[in-house]
Structure 1
Amino acid sequence: MFKRVAIIFIISTFLVGCWDERLYKNLSVVSLAGIEGQIGEMKGYYAYPTSPKDPTKYKVIEGEGISPRDVRNSADLKVEQTLDLSELGTILLSKEAAKNPIYDFLDVYFRNPENPISSKVALTDGSVKDFLDIGDDLPSDIGEYYLRFIESFERNSIFPKQSIQHICSLFFGKGMDPVLPFLKKVEKDRKPVVGGLALFNKQVFTGTILDPKESLLLVLLMDKKGESARFSYLWESKGKKSPITADVVTLTKRWNVEEKGLTATVRLKYKLKVNIEEFPPDHLHDSEKRIKLEKFLSKKVQKDIEKLLHKLQDAKSDPLGIGQDIRAFHPKLWDDNWGEKFAELTLKPDIKVSIVRTGILR
């Protein structure tokens, strides 16, 4: 009996194979996909490297159809090898297309197990096609270029760190709206420029875009700080203006919801501990001067965040997830049409900035 088992085990090791094997020689591996139009009349773009020795050389295939899957089928008819999206790094979506529910466009990428759920998603200002011709001096293939481009701004806290998995999961939940990186039209050198963050109400683009400074503050309020988060202001003393730049080291938050009938006051308390990276007047060892700077920074950040919160409410967009907290702990205030309810809340931020580091200079 033991000999039979041993023989079967030995033979089975020679029978093991790759049942799901796919040979790259038979595929065109797409690293970037673009979508524009609307369901019923769509265009899609697929970029893939054409040289195994030089991935910066790429080709763009266009497809047309009534849905993302139909568009891809159309594009497949124009290539000598089947398009493969298993290494898709970035999905670009035009802001015009995003005025429709964007899950209709992303479902085919999220549902298919062969597609990566780590892909980045961004909105473009104008046709996606304009963002596919970005010059020949790329350090990597175009999909990886956009992936690294977005990740660099995640590290600098301009964009929250997220992927198609995180974005689509918000669509199945309630009480928190997504935000997406917004890329402006290419300039003379044909490279993309960061426009900030695009605000959504559920799955639909609201038309409101936060600039990079507002985007950084939003990322801080979302408690999704990257490796660094720098903000700058002008400090005026004795008629002289001097720049001051602070980098957030740590952040703590505490929210308090006070019910008032059918609405509520939400107090958003944040404590920011910062490192001063730029301040020509120096002498930060002076406690009196440091206290003045802390009050100055607290007042400036507080004022900017108040403006930001008004902008979120005007857009009826809740990327902070206040609705999740309301739905869980204050169900009487919850409304399935949360955007309207969110706009009626009284949001009161309370920001305190503390200087804990001053660089190598005193």
Structure 2
Amino acid sequence: MNRLALLWLIVVSLFTGCSYHSDLKNLQLIYATSLDTNEKNEIVTTVTIQSPGGKERTVPIHEVLTATGPTLQESLYKKIGLQIAGPIGTSKNQVMLICDKLAKSDILNLLDATFRNSNDPMLAKVAIVNGEAAELIKLNRIGSATSGEYLRKIIKSAQYETVIPFVTVHSIYPLLHDRGKDGVIPILRRENGEDSETDKDKAVIDGVGLLSKSKYTGYNLTPEQSSLFLLMNGKKGEICIMTRKIDETKGKNDLSQYVSLNIIKSSSNKKVMVSSSGHVQVQLQLKLKGIIIEHAKYNRIDKKLIEQLNKRFSELLTEEAQGICKQLQKAHSDALGIGRDLIAFHPKEWKELDWEKAYPEVDFKVSVSMDIISHGIIN
């Protein structure tokens, strides 16, 4: 009896294995997803799908499919699923792009189904697109690379260079529920090539979009502002290049007026205080250490010039940091997490505050100090 049972288990496992491999062979893998909206306020889902190569072909086939529906699940699994021969696989999805109009409604609702589905990849990059998100999915690809791979590499490169933060489905979804901090999401746009033969259309990083609770506010930080914002938030990438115009010669604008620094170390210190009247004040100090990598005006750099550059950069970056704080307040986006500090260190005052009204009135005192520690081997 035991031998018959064992034999039966072996037979069943063999047949199950064959069925499993057959499903894998027919699986239609999604590598990128974009979400737009139409005049009926329906969700327009566009995906790039890679079908496995068969006996007649050695390379996978890429297809771009679009469908509409009241929800993401309806348009993706039901409508797009009916257009393909085989089951949909979302485990390889690398990017999720959301058009700016749809992001202004509620990002939390859009990502809810994705976050609940254990088969969906939590590390898929999330970004907002100025205009139609599907345009980036439909970009002409180089070689056999999918648009998902192309977009993922662009986003990853910007993270490496401290232009945008690390944002995935897994990292942004919990933040949309956070009472004390708002998120920021990378902004992409399509840039048309001048010559269709040699200069193809491409995706460009356009800084970060500011969120208020779970909605995109429509306010952005430029790539230069975004890098400084990340340093203020203690999130430096592998490299961080800052180029600033240090000379203001009237009627002149050439390379000799600019200096480029590589920020090799940064440290930020934030202190949140509440007065007896309930007024919130924030003191934020950012200390940077940098290396001169380009300064065309002077071949020889002495100690006096270093001191002048330190002072100039400190002044410029302090002014920019203050401007970033004002932009955050204008957008009602607490992306620096002031609310979290109040919850942690001033819980009594936090309960008495109407944060929606109090946040735009927060008094930010920001100072940035630059310390140039090296200027290369010219001298």
- Asked if Structure 1 and Structure 2 have the same fold, meaning a TM-score greater than 0.5 normalized by the shorter chain, the answer is yes
Moved over 4 A (4+): 11-22, 237-241
Q: Is 2:118 aligned against 1:113?
A: yes
The letter for the 2-side match of 1:194 is I
Q: Where does 1:196-235 land on structure 2 (aligned, <5 Å)? A: 196-235=207-246
Partner Cα distance (2:257, 2:344) in 1: 46
Q: Which whole-Å CA distance do the structure 1 matches of 2:243 and 2:305 have between them? A: 18
Letter in 2 for 1:358: H
Aligned to 2:323: 307
Which residue of structure 2 lines up, in the alignment, with residue 45 of structure 1? Answer: 46
Compared CA separation, residues 324 and 237, structure 1 to 2 (3 A): closer
Distance across 1 between alignment mates of 2:73 and 2:104: 20
Q: Secondary structure at the match of 1:86?
A: coil
Deviation at 1:237, TM superposition (A): 9.0
Asked whether the equivalents of residues 45 and 60 of structure 1 are also in contact (C-alpha less than 8 Å), the reply is yes
**Counterpart for residue 188 of structure 2:** 183
> Once structures 1 and 2 are overlaid, which stretch shifts more, 106-115 or 17-26?
17-26
CA contact (8 A) 1:263 1:333 kept: no
The alpha-carbon deviation at position 185 of structure 1 amounts to 2.7
Structure 2 counterpart of 1:288, which letter?
K
One-letter identity of the residue aligned with 2:48:
A
225 and 139 in structure 1: CA distance in 2 versus 1, 3 angstrom threshold: farther
For residues 139 and 214 of structure 1, the distance between their equivalents in structure 2, rounded to whole angstroms, comes to 35
Q: 1:249 to 1:30 in 2, by over 3 A?
A: same
Quick check: 75-84 or 231-240, which moved more? 231-240
CA contact (8 A) 2:177 2:213 kept: no
**One-letter code of the match for 2:370?**
V
1:80 aligns with 2:85: yes
* Superposition deviation, residue 71 in structure 1: 1.0
Aligned to 1:61: 65
Deviation at 1:61, TM superposition (A): 1.3
Mark the CA change 1:46 to 1:216 in structure 2 (over 3 Å): closer, same or farther: same
Match for residue 245 of structure 1? 260
Residue 137 of structure 1 aligns to a residue whose secondary structure is coil
Q: Secondary structure at the match of 2:246?
A: strand
Cα contact 1:47–1:59 (8 A) shared by 2: yes
Q: Structure 2 vs 1, CA of residues 211 and 237 (structure 1 numbering), >3 Å: closer, same or farther?
A: closer
Question: Partner residue of 2:312?
Answer: 296
Does the C-alpha gap of structure 1 residues 302 and 21 become closer, same or farther in structure 2, counting only changes over 3 Å? farther
Q: Contact 2:49/2:64 (CA < 8 Å) preserved in 1? A: yes
SS in 2 for 1:294: helix
Letter in 2 for 1:30: I
Task: Give the secondary structure class of the aligned counterpart of 1:361.
Answer: coil
In structure 1, what is the equivalent of residue 203 of structure 2?
192
Partner Cα distance (1:15, 1:76) in 2: 29
Shift of 1:113: 0.8
Q: Does 1:265 align with 2:264?
A: no
Q: Which runs of 5+ in 1 are unaligned?
A: none
Summarize the Cα distance change of 1:138–1:107 in structure 2 as closer, same or farther, 3 Å threshold: farther
Match of 2:35 in 1: 35
The range that moved more, 97-106 or 131-140, is: 131-140
Whole-angstrom distance in 2 between the partners of 1:238 and 1:337: 47
The residue matched to 2:202 in structure 1 has which SS?
coil
Matching residue of 1:97: 102
Q: Is the 8 A contact 1:36 1:128 kept in 2?
A: yes
How many Å separate the matches in 2 of 1:131 and 1:181? 14
Secondary structure of 2:176's counterpart equals helix
Aligned to 1:24: 24
Kept after mapping to 2: 8 A contact 1:139/1:145 = no
CA drift at 1:124 = 0.9
Shift of 1:15: 9.0
CA contact 1:64–1:71 (8 Å) conserved in 2: yes
Letter of the aligned partner of 1:174 in structure 2? R
Equivalent residue, structure 1, for 2:196: none
Q: CA offset at residue 25 of structure 1?
A: 1.3
Quote the offset at 1:351 in angstroms.
0.8
Q: CA RMSD in A?
A: 2.8
**Match of residue 350 from structure 1:** 367
Closer, same or farther: CA 96–40 of 1 in aligned 2, 3 Å: closer
Structure 2 CA distance, aligned partners of 1:64 and 1:242? 52
Deviation of 1:170 after TM superposition, in Å, equals 0.4
**Partner residue in 2 for 1:133:** 138
How far 1:337 sits from its partner (Å)? Answer: 5.9
SS of residue matched to 1:154? helix
Alpha-carbon separation, structure 2, partners of 1:238 and 1:66: 57
What is the DSSP-based 3-state SS (H/G/I as helix, E as strand, rest coil) of the residue aligned with 1:31?
strand
Matching residue's letter, 2:73: R
Give how far 1:277 is off: 0.8
- 1:338, 1:75 → 2: CA distance? 43
- Report how far residue 50 of structure 1 moved: 4.1
